[in-house]
Amino acid sequence: MPVGLSEPEALLPIAGVRWGIAAAGIKYADRNDLALMEIAPGAATAAVYTRNAFCAAPVTLARQHGEAAATRYLLINSGNANAGTGEPGMMAALDSCAALADVVGCKTEEVLPFSTGVIGELMSVEKIRNALPQAYADLSAGNWLKAARAIMTTDILAKGVSRQIEIGGKTATISGIAKGSGMIRPDMATMLAYVATDADVEPALLQRLLQQAVDYSFNSITVDGDTSTNDACVLVASGQAGIAFASEADAGYGEFAAAVIEVLQFLAQAIIRDGEGATKFITIDVSGGSSKAECRQVAYTVAHSPLVKTALFASDPNWGRILAAVGRAGVEGLGVDKVSIHLGDVRIVCDGGRDASYTEAAGQAVMDEEEITIRIDLGRGSARAQIWTTDLSYDYVKINAEYRS
C-alpha cells in the first residue's frame, strides 16, 4: 500500500472549471478512462511538458495548440500513451481534438490532448469519439475526484488536494490532481497533473509560477530514473474569485504562490508515496554544495543507486552504499574529509569515514521506519537541494515485468 497516503474524500470545486468522465474502453472494458476538463472563457492556462526527445504525439500537439489559441478544453485518456506512433499517432491526436470540437462547438486548436499508458500502440480515435458525448454530458464542477481516478494507470490511489487562502478579505481556492507511479524522473517527472485556481493571474506570470512550482515539486522526485514520453502539468487560472495578480509585487501574491507550490509539492510527494512497489518514502537532503545543481547531482546519484534502493527496501543500514554513491556523483574536487552523512538524526559518516559514535543498532532503528531522511553535507558551500524517492522492491519488478499483460 502507498506509504503514508490516503485517497482524498473530496476536492473543492473551482469556479470556471468543470470535469466530465467517460468509459471509452481504451484498454479495459467498463473502466472510466477518459477525462474532459472544460475551462471558462477568459481563463489563463500555463503548461510544462516532458523533455524526452521521443515525446508523445499528444504532447507535441498540445504544445502547438497552446501557442495557437486560448485553451477551452483538456482531453485526457488513460490506457494508451499514443507515443512512438509516428505520423499516424499525430493524426489520431488531432482527430481526437477535432472530434471533441465538433461535440462542444469550439475550435480544434482550443483543445489540448493528453495521454498515458502503453507506449507504441496506435490510439483508437473511434473509441474516444464514441465516448465524448458521455463525457460532455457528465461535466460538473464536483467531478475532480472522478477525474483523478480516470487518469490512473498503475496508481493504487487517486491523488488530489485542495487549498484555500484568504487575500484581501476574499478567498482563493486551488485544487489539483495527478497520476504517476512508475517511470518517474524529472525533465518533468513521469506523470500528468492538472491544477486550477479561481484567482486571476496574468498569463506570463502564471507560466513563471508554474515553472517555479514544478522545480520545487515534480522536478524533485524520482522512482526509477526514467523520464516518460508523456509528462505534462497544466495550471489554469479561471479568474472568478475577484482576486487578481498582474505581477509578483502585487499584495498577497507571495502567499498565493506559496499555496500553489504547496499543492504541486503535495501531488509530487503523493506520486512517490504511491510509487510502484514502494514500501518507503525517502527524502534526500543535500546541503553544503557549491551550487544547487551540484547538490541535485549528488541527490539523484544516491536516489538512483540500485544498491542503495534495495538496501532501503531490506531496511539494511548498509551505509557504505550511500557513501559510495556520493563519491561517484562526479563532484569535481570533492573533499571527502569534509563530507558528513546522516540517516535521520544518526550521523554515519564524517572525517572521511564512519562516525566514531555510530552503532549498527542506531542505524537499524532509522532504517526500520517507513519514512527516512538521508542528509548529506558536502562541506564546500551554501547551496542546498532536496528530492524525494522510493526504495526498490520485489513488487516494482513484478509490476513492470507484467505491465503489458
Summarize pLDDT for 80-123 with one digit per residue, the tens.
Answer: 999 999 999 999 999 999 999 999 999 999 999 999 988 999 99
Architecture in CATH for domain 281-401: Roll (3.10)
Respond yes or no: is residue 283 known to be catalytic.
Answer: no
Instruction: Please list the residue range(s) of the chain that carry CATH number 3.60.70.12.
Output: 17-273
Is 17-273 in CATH node 3.90.1150.10?
no
DSSP reduced 3-state for 292: helix
Give per-residue pLDDT as tens, 192-223.
Answer: 999 999 999 999 999 999 999 999 999 999 98
Q: Residue 186 has what pLDDT? A: 61
What is the C-alpha separation between 104 and 66, in angstroms, rounded?
18
Q: Is the pLDDT of residue 184 over 70?
A: no
Residue 54: predicted pLDDT: 86
Q: Which of 158-172, 190-204, 225-239, 385-399 bottoms out in mean pLDDT, i.e. has the lowest?
A: 225-239
pLDDT at 403 over 90: no
Between strands 170-179 and 159-167, the pairing is antiparallel
Of 85, 108, 153, 190, catalytic: 190
The per-type count for the chain, helices as H runs and strands as E runs, is: 11, 17
Name residues whose C-beta falls within 8 Å of residue 75's C-beta, 6 or more positions apart in sequence: 34, 35, 36, 96, 97, 100, 111, 112, 113, 114, 128
Please determine, for residue 189, whether its predicted confidence score (pLDDT) is greater than 60: no
In this prediction the pTM is 0.94
Q: Where in the chain is the domain with CATH 3.10.20.340?
A: 281-401
- Sorting pLDDT into bands at 50, 70 and 90, what band is 50? confident
Tell me the C-alpha distance between 114 and 131, whole Å: 16
Q: What angle do CA 55, 60, 65 make, to 5 degrees?
A: 160
DSSP code per residue over 46-115: EEEE---TT--HHHHHHHHHHHHS---EEEEEEEE---S-HHHHHHHHHHHHHHHHHHHT--GGGEEEEE
